[in-house]
Amino acid sequence: MQLDPAIAQTFFEDYRHILLMVYGLKGLKGHRTTEERMVAARGCLMEIGLLDEAVEALEDRKGLFVDEDVVSAIRTLEVGKWVYLRDLRHHTILLHPDGYIARGVVGLTRPIRDLTGGPGFSFEAGIMAIPGHFICDGLLAEIVALGPGYQAHYNPVFKELKAIGAFHQVPNPGFLRPPRDPTQADYQAAPVAKAAKAGGAKVGSRPAAGPTSRTPDTLASVVAPAAPAAPRKASAPARAPKAKDDYREVIQLKVTLAGIEPPIWRRLQVPADWTLARLHRLIQAAFGWEDCHLHCFRIHGEAYAPTDQENEPGTCDEKVPLKRVGLRLRTRFRYEYDFGDDWEHLILVEGLLLLEEPATVPACIGGQRACPPEDVGGAGGYQQMLEALGNPRDPRNQEFGLWLGTRTWNAEAFDLDQVNEAIAKATGPGGSRR
């Protein structure tokens, strides 16, 4: 359960050079060992443009040229907490503690078992995608023993994730790797076939995503093949092997309405090829807004809005796909609605998933509390409304009661089935309309 040493050592050296350069560029201090410096720098590596800056600095200052394969893999880096569940023949199962995704990974320069002593630990680590594998960078931090009962808790979670297609053994090339500089041509390009040809062959007019050849033996040809699917029971009906294009690329988002406590939020799964305009309609349906005011997305310092808001060319949300705005795991961005009431929605990218087709997306898979009514006056006005409705002696009680009319208001109400019915109605039959 380790990447081929001949490939891994060269890969790790380039990765080390980048992290140490990042450490210097960010002016980090107070870490005694090289490994501590690398871990600290890894936490900064998600900043937009920092990876390219480090690569350029290595070339200019030290004459070191980092392999493009390594840079491409680092663009897929996910840094987070993981539960080391168990080892299988070809990979180690790492499960996110929140239970929304699991990955089958191999060690980069050392098996994960050698770093911890075996399963039953949680730790912070970086995971990257290369052709055929997810790899763990081996820089483990915050290692905590889980205790003897961890399997009873996490095994059912893993079983459920595997059943819904949220356990990924082999990365889908290109999905976790947005282009460095999206152009208008990228927005108009035809979708790339998911089953990319081996060896970096081109599909259509665009190159198949994934690291290019670094030696006569590419990463894809050197690494071990992915683990075969577990055999089915004899009683199960026979079924043909599943092809790569039987999966759909999905982004999982947690959308939280800012300025209100306890929080109002929705957890959404949305196709990665959807435009921002379609995400707007999904958020409207999931929260229960009426789409009667202007809106705007703010992502990496860029504003995306409808064409009738006189926005700059290339930022029309009807033309920009989600997978072309540089969304990575843990990316945060904002959705603003009703510039009078100023509703701000904080959006966190929780997962980059491959869901088995037919995937039921878009969908809401969780949430809490009712969305405020339109035109209530923003977060402050909504808080005043709740206070008035909760106190019959409040002079505003009758005023808000008349304003609501026949509507009864329960701030804690949330019905997942009703939310998904609203989403299906707003986004087309079965959520499949493009």
Select the more confidently predicted residue: 109 or 256: 256
| Structural domain span for residue 24 | 5-168
The answer to whether residues 17 and 137 belong to one domain is yes
66-83 tens-digit pLDDT: 888 888 888 888 888 999
335-373 tens-digit pLDDT: 999 999 999 999 998 888 877 777 789 999 999 999 999
Domain boundary among 153, 168, 183: 168
pLDDT band at 97 (very low <50, low <70, confident <90, very high): confident
Q: Which residues of 298-334 are buried (b: 16+ CB within 10 A; e: fewer)?
A: ebeeeebbbeeeebeeebbbebbbbbbbbbbbebebe
171-207 tens-digit pLDDT: 754 444 433 333 433 333 333 323 333 333 332 332 3
Residue 219 located in a structural domain: no
Q: What is the model's pLDDT at position 308?
A: 58
Give the least confident one: 39-48, 148-157, 330-339: 39-48
Q: Is the pLDDT of residue 307 over 80?
A: no
The answer to whether residues 152 and 269 belong to one domain is no
pLDDT band at 429 (very low <50, low <70, confident <90, very high): low
Q: Is the pLDDT of residue 331 over 60?
A: yes
Residue with tokens 């500089």: 181
Answering whether pTM is above 0.75, one says no
Euclidean distance between CA atoms 30 and 36, whole angstroms: 9
Q: Which residues of 347-357 are buried (b: 16+ CB within 10 A; e: fewer)?
A: bbbbbbbbbee
Q: Is the pLDDT of residue 233 over 50?
A: no
Give the least confident one: 9-13, 126-130, 291-295, 351-355: 351-355
Q: Is the pLDDT of residue 223 over 70?
A: no
* Bridge partner residues of 136 (DSSP): 107, 127
Residue 89 located in a structural domain: yes
For the segment 84-108, the average pLDDT, to the nearest whole number, is 89
Q: What is the model's pLDDT at position 213?
A: 27
Crossing angle of helices 396-404/378-389, nearest 10°?
A: 110
Residue 9 located in a structural domain: yes
173-182 tens-digit pLDDT: 444 443 333 3
Domain holding 340: CATH number?
A: 3.10.290.30
For the segment 97-109, the average pLDDT, to the nearest whole number, is 86
The answer to whether residues 281 and 426 belong to one domain is yes
Q: Is the pLDDT of residue 56 over 90?
A: yes
CB contact at 8 A, 121 and 143: yes
Residue 222 located in a structural domain: no
Q: Is the pLDDT of residue 124 over 90?
A: yes
247-288 tens-digit pLDDT: 788 899 999 999 898 899 999 999 989 999 999 999 999 999
CB burial class (10 A; 0-12, 13-18, 19+) of residue 343?
buried
Residue 183 located in a structural domain: no
Euclidean distance between CA atoms 186 and 328, whole angstroms: 18
Distances (CA, A) of 121 to 86, 118, 124, 161, 166: 10, 8, 10, 19, 21
Q: What is the model's pLDDT at position 268?
A: 95
* Bridge partner residues of 94 (DSSP): 84, 103
The answer to whether residues 20 and 130 belong to one domain is yes
The answer to whether residues 42 and 144 belong to one domain is yes
Residue 314 located in a structural domain: yes
The answer to whether residues 22 and 148 belong to one domain is yes
Q: What is the model's pLDDT at position 129?
A: 85
Domain boundary among 116, 151, 168: 168
Q: What is the model's pLDDT at position 122?
A: 94
Q: How many domains is the chain built from?
A: 2
Taking all residues of the chain, what is their mean pLDDT, rounded to a whole number? 78
Euclidean distance between CA atoms 336 and 283, whole angstroms: 11
Residue 238 located in a structural domain: no
Peptide bond into 173 cis (omega under 30): no
Residue 115 located in a structural domain: yes
For the segment 327-342, the average pLDDT, to the nearest whole number, is 88
Instruction: Pick the closest to residue 173 from 134, 227, 119 (CA basis).
Output: 134
Domain boundary among 168, 185, 203: 168
